A and B are shown apart, each in its own frame.
Chain A
Amino acid sequence: MSQDERALRATGFTMLTHEHGFHARPSIMLTQLAKQFSAKVWIGLSDNGPWTDAKSIARVMALKAPQQTMVFFAAEGTDATDAVSALVRLVQSDFTSSKDQ
C-alpha cells in the first residue's frame, strides 16, 4: 500500500443511543448513507473488528447491536474521511436527520 493510499483510510466511533439499537429504520438509514460514498465502509462493535460491510442491511441488522453500544467505523477510499464522519454524525444524531416528527 503506498503512502497516498494509506492516507485514504479513516476510522471513527460513537455511542449508539437509539432506543432499539440497529433495528430496521436505523439500519436502512445507515446503509443508504454508506452507499452514497465510493469508499469501502465497514462497521464493527470493537476497534479491532470483526468488521462487517456497512453497505449491507442484512449484515448491519445481523450485528444485533443493542442500545448503549459503541459502534466503530472504518473506511478505505478517496472519500473515506467524509464517509466516516457522516456515519458518526448520523448515529450521534440518534438517526434524527430524517426521523418522522
Chain B
Amino acid sequence: MSSPKATAYLRGISASPGLARGPLVRLQEGVRTGIRAPASGPNDPRRLRSAIDAACAELTAVMQRGCDPDAKALLAFQVAMLQDPVVTEPAFTAIAARVPPEQAWLDAIELQIRQYESADDLYIRARASDLRDMRDRVSRILTGATITTVPAGSIVLATDLPPSRFLEMSWEGGGIALTGGSANSHVAMLARARGVPMLIGLDTGILQAHGEALLDADNGMVITSPDAQTTADFAARQQTLRSGRLVAESHLALPAVTASGERVQLMINVADGAELGNLNPAWCDGVGLVRTELLLRDKHDLMDEAKQYEAYCRIARWAEGRSVTVRLLDAGADKPIAGYTVDAELNPFLGMRGVRLSLLHRQVLRTQLRALARAAALRPLQIMVPMVTWPDELDQVRQMLNDTVESLAKEGLDCARPALGMMVEVPAAALTCDLFEADFFSIGSNDLIQYLTACSRDSRPLAALQDPLQPAVVRIMREVVQYANAHGIPVSLCGDMAGDPRCVPALLGIGLRSLSVAPAALAGVKAAIARYRSEASEEGHSA
C-alpha cells in the first residue's frame, strides 16, 4: 500500500529536551551477543591485532576533533582498555587454541563486562556499556561491516546508541529516538550537554517508521508522517525556541532578579544527580526537588541505606551549602517500582502512590529517613512529603522522622533533624493548607492541575483543558501562596509550570518568589523573571 501514512504520535521519555525535525535514520550496528560470531576471515591473530589498532585510531581521531572533558574521559577509557594486555591477551590465547578471532574477541570482552556488571558501585556498573561500545567497534572492524552514514540533521532511530558513535556524528539540528536507553546513560548526559534532543523508551513499533519525523523531547513524543499543518506549527515552535535561547543564554550565569530589582529564588529539579556533572551550582539557588524514585530503581535500593546516604551526600556536596530539598519516594502511578508499588490498579493516579505507599511500607520509609537525617549532618537538607491529602499523613511522617533521629543519636551516628515540608498537589490539601504543620510548602503543579481539572496528564486531546494559566489553577495556587507568605512559611513551586517562561509572570504575580525548574530551563526562566515588573513597583514608580 502506498497511500499517504497517517500522522502518528509515539510517546517516549525525554532524556534531553529540545525539538528536532528531519528524516529518520535507522541504526542497526549492535553486535548480537549469545550468537556465535561466524569467522569472517582466516584464523590469524594479526587480524584481531589490526582491528584493535584501527579501533584505537578511530577513537583517538574522535578525541582529537575536540570534545568536552567527560567525553574525552570516556573515549580515553576505551583506548586504555584496548591497549591493556590484561584485557586483550585472553582473546589471543583463544585464537592460538583455534577459536576464530571474531568469537575469541567477544568472549574475552564478555569476561570484562561481567565483572563490571556485577559491581556494587553504580559508576563502575555503568562502565559496562562503555565496554560493549568498545567491543562492538572492534567486532565491526573485524567483520568488515559497514557503518550507516548519518547525515547532519537526521533523527537517529535505534534501540540504543553507544556514546562513541554519538561523538562521531554531527548533531546540528538532529535528534535521537531510542526504544531502549536510560536517562542516566552516558549518551544521555552527552546529549544534554550538547543540547541534542533525545527520547528514550519509545515503543519498538517506531523502528519500522521512516521518512520525515518531528522529535519533541520537550513533550516526550515523536510524530511520524506529520501533516503539513503539524510540521508548520512545529517549525514555528523551533524558531521561537531558537530566538528565545539566544536571549536566555545571556542570563544563565546571572542571579534571578525581576525588572523591579526583586530577587527570586530559582532552584533546579534533580533526578539522580548524574545531570549535575556539567552544571555550575552558582547558576541556581540550590536544589528544589530531588526525585528519589528515579534514584532508587528497585526493591533492593529501597532498603539500601548506605547507597541512599551516599547519593544524598553527593547532591548536597554539589550544592555547596545551597538549599537542597529531597522528596520522599514518590512511586506509584507512572513511576512503578517492582515489588513495591501496587499492580493493576484501575486508576493508578488516584490510587496508591507517594506518601500513601510510604506509610504502608514503613521499613522502606524508615530507611530513607535514616539516610536523609544522616546526610543532613553533613550539609543542610530538607525533606518534602509527596501526595499528602490529610494532616494526619504529615503528622505520621513527622513522628517517624523524630523517632529516626532519636534512634540514630542513640546509635552514636552523626545526624540532624531536617526541616519537614509537604508537596501541595492534592486539591484537598491545597484548600486546607492552614491545617498542616508543614515547615514549608512546595506546589506540585503537574499533579495539582491534573486533579483539579480531572484530566489525565498524558492525554493529548485534553491538553487544552489542562492549561496551567486558567483561573481555577491560578486561584487555588494563590490561596496557598498568600497563606504561606502571611504566616512566614517558605513556599515554592516545582512542577513543569515553573519551567515554562510563559507562566512565570502569573506565578510571580500571585506572590511566589521561589521556583524550581529542570536545569535546561534555568536560562529561559531567568530571562522571563528579568522581564517581569510587579504591579506594586509600577504603582511605586507612578506615585
Q: Interface residues, chain A, CB within 8 Å of chain B? A: 20-21, 23-25, 27-28, 31-32, 53, 56-59, 61-62, 64, 66, 100
Contacts and interface: CB of A to CB of B under 8 A. Distances in A.
**Which secondary structure characterizes the binding site on chain A?**
helix
Among A25, A31, A58, A59, the most chain B Cβ lie within 10 Å of the Cβ of A58
Contacts of A23: 123-124
Interface string B114-136: 01000101011001001000000
A13 B80 CA distance: 24
Interface stretch (B25-33, B70-78, B141-149): B70-78
A37 B100 CA distance: 35
B115 A62 contact: yes
Interface of B: 69, 73-74, 76-77, 80-81, 84-87, 112, 115, 119, 121, 123-124, 127, 130
Contacts of A62: 115
Nearest to A66: B121
23 contacts: A20-B123, A23-B123, A23-B124, A24-B73, A24-B77, A25-B73, A25-B76, A25-B77, A28-B73, A28-B77, A28-B80, A31-B80, A56-B84, A56-B85, A56-B86, A57-B84, A58-B81, A58-B84, A58-B112, A61-B127, A62-B115, A64-B121, A64-B124
**Which secondary structure characterizes the binding site on chain B?**
helix
Contacts of B76: 24-25, 28
A20 B70 CA distance: 14
A32 B80 CA distance: 9
Contacts of B77: 24-25, 27-28, 57
A57 B83 CA distance: 9
B127 to A, nearest CB: 6
Nearest to B85: A56
Contact of B81 (A21, A25, A53, A57): A57
A57 B80 contact: yes
B410 to A, nearest CB: 25
A100 B80 contact: no
B74 A24 contact: yes
Contacts of A57: 77, 80-81, 84
B74 A53 contact: no
A97 to B, nearest CB: 14
B522 to A, nearest CB: 20
A88 B15 CA distance: 40
A61 B128 CA distance: 12
Nearest to A58: B86
Nearest to B115: A62
A61 B86 contact: no
Among A61, A66, A100, the most chain B Cβ lie within 10 Å of the Cβ of A61
A62 B115 CA distance: 8
Contacts of B80: 27-28, 31-32, 57
B518 to A, nearest CB: 24
Contacts of A100: 69
Given A24-B127, A58-B112, A53 B119 contact: no
Contacts of A24: 73-74, 76-77, 127, 130
Given A58-B87, A64-B119, 16 more contacts: A21-B121, A24-B76, A24-B127, A24-B130, A25-B77, A28-B76, A28-B80, A53-B86, A56-B84, A56-B86, A57-B80, A57-B84, A58-B112, A61-B124, A66-B121, A100-B69
Among A31, A59, A62, the most chain B Cβ lie within 10 Å of the Cβ of A62
A27 B87 CA distance: 15
